[in-house]
Structure 1
Amino acid sequence: MARAIAQQSRVIHGYKRAFRTGGEGSAIMFIHGIGDSSRTWDDVLPLFAENHLVIAPDLLGHGDSDKPRADYSIGGFANGMRDLLAVLDVERVTLVGHSLGGGVAMQLAYQYPHLVERVVLVSNGGSGRGVSTWLRLATLPLAPELLQLLRLPISRTGLSASLALLRRLDHDLGVDATDLIRIIDALPDARSRQAFARTLRAVVDWHGQVVTMLDRSYLVENIPTLMIWGDRDGVVPFRHAGQARLAMPYASLDVFHGAGHFPFRSDPGRFVMTVEQFVRSTAPATWDHDAWQRRLRTGPEPEDDLHTWTGI
């Protein structure tokens, strides 16, 4: 039976951090993508809460959390997740990160491996250079103003018509049309749009993605890792899964055929079943500082050296 999910918040470092939580048992933290919020997980949180304590934060600058002029880097977000777990007195979690949230999950696992039992990466950012053209455009200087224009009725009509055309043309972006419009609608004011732009510019420029965890992923190879990807992803191309597998041969990959950038929204039941099976079939990671230090000193194996990160 699905469990109720409650909206809560805590003030950390002077800023309100909103999150959704419910259930009890082993903890799972769900980290949303750029411009999104914890509400993106609405279809799956009550189901996971049947067996787990679920925690779905609104990243700083997103959703109902405060939107200050602050650090919106991947490392900054990872620190925020660590602090929230400490405030909630949660010692260890399985991380489920979507898109940008996948990058935050990997950064948290890299910075604070003793907190992490498992990692689930969903349509993960940071696995290749490529990214959709609309995200590249959103890094330009006047992007917040352009996002405001997209909320005007005439612009909304044009955007909806464009996405409908993409659906008719069977373009991958058309698969995610509903969710892309939902995210634009989640940026109602100037502070939200400025926070979105700051976050995006920290990870993307006109040439594509600029942040990767692939060069450090060997350090978390003892943490059970599952990747979930839709093969019709028009935001972070599905081909990036191949690059991620090269860097993380220890990770499993589950492909949602026909799904786009939000496989947990297009098929919530399968998503819950896939993640639950992964949790049941893997033991929580154990933290060994000496082994981690030795691995850091030796570096990645030659075949895993991805410092020449080209993206595929």
Structure 2
Amino acid sequence: MGLVFNQQNSDTERMEFIQILGYNIRCLIIERKGPCKTIVLLHGLGASIERWSELWPLLKDYNVIIPDLIGFGYSDKPLIEYTIDLFVKFLEELFSKLEISNPIIIGSSFGGQLVLEYSLRHKDFFEKIILVSPAGTLERPTYVLSQYIFSGLYPTIENVQRAFQMMANNPDYKVDENTVKDYINRMRLPNSKYALISTLLAMRRDQRLQNRLVEIVIPTLVIWGSEDSTIPVENIEYFKQIPIVETHIMEGCGHTPYVEKPHEFYEIIKKFIES
């Protein structure tokens, strides 16, 4: 069972700040009125809770927890070294403080890399794992990833719009204007750029992940966009050799299929969760 909240007359949705590792961490918490499973969503590098805004309204049958990772979104951005170990400790305290046990977890890009790291250290914690274009298998940054990092360091409307459009890699997809503005606002907050680069260096240092994928013991679904040029879809091959892992390629999608085709994405994960 996942986290079960006290039964209430109606669902509640709240955005609040909680103390994790001594820092203020922003978290969206959606509590359903009856007992149900919990889904935790982890965003990618430089992203925030809002990146999941197309998906969470569809998760009506689940409690939903979405944090801004430490250093990102509107959470505190301390001048510390952002290591994989730090993020794992962050998740340990988050789950403990919110009394979450055995949830379903969805991690996108860097969030997917964190999910894998956490699950390899806590092998029976998650009920099921869903990874969306997970980081951790790239040998070197792609051109699109480099453009995204550049847009974080130099967050102008033109740079950010171009980077997000390249990540979708679909001329028919139009990047939401509010997404661009919010990203610019967040990357102009104190220490945002520092946290971005420090985390990127941690990701680059942690190159052992692809050799450890055979250790996955929790039912796992890996979803990739067919047009992903940020972390190319060829990286899904690393996961196809593992019996407990299912893979799915979403046609016509780039790096964030849950943003580009949320309803199709939801139907895919719903089938996996209920199987």
With the shorter chain as reference, the TM-score category is 0.7 to 0.9
- Take 1:187 and 1:259, find their aligned partners in 2: how far apart are those partners? 25
Identity %: 24
- Take 2:171 and 2:163, find their aligned partners in 1: how far apart are those partners? 9
Provide the residue aligned with 2:230 in structure 1: 235
Aligned partner letter, 2:103? V
Are 2:17 and 1:9 equivalent residues in the alignment?
Answer: yes
Determine which of 191, 215, 218 is the counterpart of 2:214.
Answer: 218
Rg bigger for which structure? 1
Q: Which runs of 5+ in 2 are unaligned?
A: 1-10
Determine which of 104, 126, 139 is the counterpart of 1:129.
Answer: 139
SS for the counterpart of 1:5 is strand
SS for the counterpart of 1:36 is coil
Q: Give the direction of change, closer, same or farther, for the CA distance of 1:91–1:69 in structure 2 (3 Å limit).
A: same
Counterparts of residues 91-106 of structure 1 (less than 5 Å): 91-106=101-116
Provide the residue aligned with 1:178 in structure 2: 175
Provide the residue aligned with 1:66 in structure 2: 76
Aligned partner letter, 2:259? R
Q: CA deviation at 1:197?
A: 1.1
- Take 1:192 and 1:173, find their aligned partners in 2: how far apart are those partners? 28
Provide the residue aligned with 2:48 in structure 1: 37
SS for the counterpart of 1:129 is coil
Aligned partner letter, 1:218? V
Q: Give the direction of change, closer, same or farther, for the CA distance of 1:245–1:75 in structure 2 (3 Å limit).
A: farther
SS for the counterpart of 1:131 is coil
Q: Which runs of 5+ in 1 are unaligned?
A: 282-312
Q: CA deviation at 1:19?
A: 1.0
Contact 2:144 2:229 in 1 (8 A): no
SS for the counterpart of 1:278 is helix
Q: Give the direction of change, closer, same or farther, for the CA distance of 1:115–1:44 in structure 2 (3 Å limit).
A: same
- Take 1:120 and 1:162, find their aligned partners in 2: how far apart are those partners? 25
Contact 2:152 2:160 in 1 (8 A): no
Q: Give the direction of change, closer, same or farther, for the CA distance of 1:8–1:243 in structure 2 (3 Å limit).
A: same
Q: CA deviation at 1:138?
A: 7.6
Number of residue pairs the alignment of both structures matches: 260
- Take 2:41 and 2:89, find their aligned partners in 1: how far apart are those partners? 15
Aligned partner letter, 1:99? S
Contact 1:264 1:271 in 2 (8 A): yes
